[in-house]
Amino acid sequence: MNIQRKYSLPNCTLLLEGLSDVTKVAQFQELRPELSILVNAECYISGCNQPLVGGREFFESLVRTVSAYAQEFLSNVHNPQAHNRESELVELQKIDSNRHRLIVHLEPISAGVQSNPHIKHPPIQIDLNTVQLFDLVEAVDQFFADTQTLPELSLELQPVTRRYGNTSQAVIRQAVPVTLGVSSLAVAAVAFSLIPAPPVRPPQPRTEVQTNSTAPSPPPTATPLAAVTPPPTATPLVAVTPPPTATPLASVTTPPTATPLAAVTPPPTATPNATPTITDLETLLHRVPEITDASQLRALNRQVYNQIHPAWTSRSVLKQDLIYRVGVAADGSIVGYKAVNREANQAVEQTPLPNLLYNPANRERTPNEPIAQFRVVFTKRGILEISPWRGYTAIPHVLGTKITDAHLVRDLNQKLYSTIRQSWGGKPTFTRDLKYRVAVNKDGVIADYEPLNQSAFDYFRETPLPKMFQSVYGSNVAAPDNQEPLAHFQVVFKPSGALEVTPWHGYQ
């Protein structure tokens, strides 16, 4: 049985494909079978067109090196494991305190394919900034924490032995460029890696901050039928994982028993996969309270949309509308789903739902966590519709504290207008108003935006909003920051090119 595991962060996605050991599977019919044989590993890094791809040797080397380099970054003590050119396919070099060079020596291709077996591939080099490096480390750590994927590989941290340790003043010294030993080693290593380079250049990393050029899934096979939807290739990286802030404080909570575990693709038939999920959602709903507050539902509705929309790539293959009832925890993670119509049951693999089920390794769940239910419809025209299962009981309000000072609101209003005005130009292709709710903090930095009408959903890429949001949060689908007081505005982009920004007066 083919199994996929995905660990996604805003700047890095690790995708593992493999098989489970047949003898073990026979013994335990697990919902989330163990990936015990790794076939293929892919690592997508934002700003880099090509994923790093390899087999088990590459992957093991990657996790060893990344883990060792993370330790070096935290302690400022040279960690030999991170720079082992002789025996590792992957190495990491420090360029300065905010730039880190990931070097991958490709596995030799079998002689049959290669016309001249003596040609050595030049190593691939990718320069990461600290945030990108962290996302890579975090993806690796989430893999380590996942006991159902290659359980024999686990996080083993050991202090570097004294032999390698620098003087005890390393912390301070690093503030002055780099300790001399490390930097000269790095220079030597970089210089050495350039010597055998033949004219064929490795894919050069692009330096823009733009993070969404790499889609974690293979490009869709066909473009959507309905021209109104933005092309799937343009959608940002799926950030299924909530930011680490969401981790609950108590790290000793026992894992819940009733939560479903499944990220299996593709099982022999769709039915056995759907069955456990059905029971799980139902059991779950019997045991836990349901979220019914209209405002919270509205916020969750968006989070669910933001998860599913970019992940739904093959939009034109559906013959029928697929309808699901989806259970969502308060942090927006999808904890269960149930097919509502028969087609939905059979075609669940054509939706991104199985892949979006929360990964239990990412965070621990509190038992009896309340759940919200949504009706999720994948229409055959390629449109995604999400609404609360029981509708809204009241008019929803925007959650969180608000900035009320009239002067400040007026200032922010002007500031927001000029920020958007400056970055919005060109001739609009849409023919109807695009209406958004946009929230900013007291400094005028965008904290959240929400499309209010259908054309706003369809043409959001024409507005500067996703870029503004992404430049602050690293991803276009990051959970909005609502810890500080915000000022909310209604922003209307008109087909004439006019822009309107007015204080928010609630949902209509």
Partner 1 sequence: MNLSASLTPFNSPPAETLPMILDTLPEPAISSHGCPRRARLQIDLILLAIEALELGGSEAVLTFAQELDLKEIIKNRVNLWRMRASNPLRRAHIRRPLSITEAKALVVIACYLARRLTVVIRQLLMIAQQMDEKQIPLEQNLRLSNYLERFRAHFKSRMNPRRSALLALNSDEKLNELAIHLLGQLLFCTGTAGMQRLWIGLFDGEV
Contact set with partner 1 (CB under 8 A): 70-75, 77, 79, 97-98, 129-131, 134, 137-138, 141-142, 144-145, 155, 157-162, 164-166, 168-176, 207, 209, 243-245, 247, 249, 251-252, 362, 443, 445, 471-474, 481, 483
Q: Which is nearer to partner 1, 26 or 250 (CB)?
A: 250
In degrees rounded to 5, what are phi and psi of residue 251?
-95, 5
In 3-state terms, what secondary structure has residue 357?
Answer: strand
Q: Note whether 164 and 77 are within 8 A (CB).
A: yes
* Assigned token pair, 396: 């929803």
Distance of CA 186 to CAs 89, 100, 183, Å?
16, 11, 5
- Report the chain's C-alpha Rg in angstroms: 24
Q: Which is nearer to partner 1, 19 or 408 (CB)?
A: 408
Q: Which is nearer to partner 1, 162 or 319 (CB)?
A: 162
Pairing of strands 384-388, 371-378: antiparallel
Q: End-to-end CA distance of the chain, in Å?
A: 49
Q: Note whether 135 and 12 are within 8 A (CB).
A: yes
Q: How far is the CB of 130 from partner 1 (least distance, A)?
A: 4
Q: Which is nearer to partner 1, 195 or 252 (CB)?
A: 252
Q: How far is the CB of 230 from partner 1 (least distance, A)?
A: 24
Q: How far is the CB of 105 from partner 1 (least distance, A)?
A: 25
Q: How far is the CB of 151 from partner 1 (least distance, A)?
A: 16
**Helix count and strand count (H, E) for the chain:** 12, 15
Quick one: residue 233, left, alpha or beta (phi over 0 = left, psi -120 to 50 = alpha)?
A: alpha
Q: How far is the CB of 15 from partner 1 (least distance, A)?
A: 18
| Residues 105, 167: Cα–Cα separation, whole Å | 32
Q: Which is nearer to partner 1, 77 or 372 (CB)?
A: 77
Q: How far is the CB of 263 from partner 1 (least distance, A)?
A: 17
Q: How far is the CB of 159 from partner 1 (least distance, A)?
A: 4
What does the chain come to in residues?
A: 508
Q: How far is the CB of 59 from partner 1 (least distance, A)?
A: 18
Which helix (H) or strand (E) segment is 143 a member of?
A: helix 130-145
In degrees rounded to 5, what are phi and psi of residue 85?
-70, -30
In 3-state terms, what secondary structure has residue 369?
Answer: coil
Q: What is residue 402's DSSP assignment? A: B
Q: How far is the CB of 200 from partner 1 (least distance, A)?
A: 28
Q: Which is nearer to partner 1, 170 or 278 (CB)?
A: 170
For 333, other C-beta atoms within 10 Å of its C-beta total 23
Q: How far is the CB of 226 from partner 1 (least distance, A)?
A: 35
Q: Which is nearer to partner 1, 7 or 337 (CB)?
A: 7
Distance of CA 427 to CAs 64, 180, 214, 490, Å?
50, 54, 27, 21
| Residues 360, 365: Cα–Cα separation, whole Å | 8
Q: What is the DSSP string of 30-83?
A: -SS--B-EEEEEEEEETT-SSPEEE-HHHHHHHHHHHHHHHHHHHH-S--GGGG
| Residues 394, 293: Cα–Cα separation, whole Å | 8
Beta strands across the sheet bearing 37-45:
2-9, 12-19, 37-45, 52-54
Q: Which is nearer to partner 1, 2 or 130 (CB)?
A: 130
Q: Which is nearer to partner 1, 22 or 74 (CB)?
A: 74
Q: How far is the CB of 255 from partner 1 (least distance, A)?
A: 15
Q: Note whether 323 and 248 are within 8 A (CB).
A: no
In 3-state terms, what secondary structure has residue 28?
Answer: coil
Q: How far is the CB of 213 from partner 1 (least distance, A)?
A: 17
Q: Which is nearer to partner 1, 146 or 458 (CB)?
A: 146
How buried is residue 471: exposed, middle or buried, by Cβ count under 10 Å (0-12/13-18/19+)? middle
Q: Which is nearer to partner 1, 241 or 463 (CB)?
A: 241
In 3-state terms, what secondary structure has residue 149?
Answer: strand
Quote the distance between the C-alpha of residue 16 and its chain's center: 15
Q: Which is nearer to partner 1, 288 or 479 (CB)?
A: 479
Q: Which is nearer to partner 1, 234 or 472 (CB)?
A: 472
Q: How far is the CB of 11 from partner 1 (least distance, A)?
A: 10
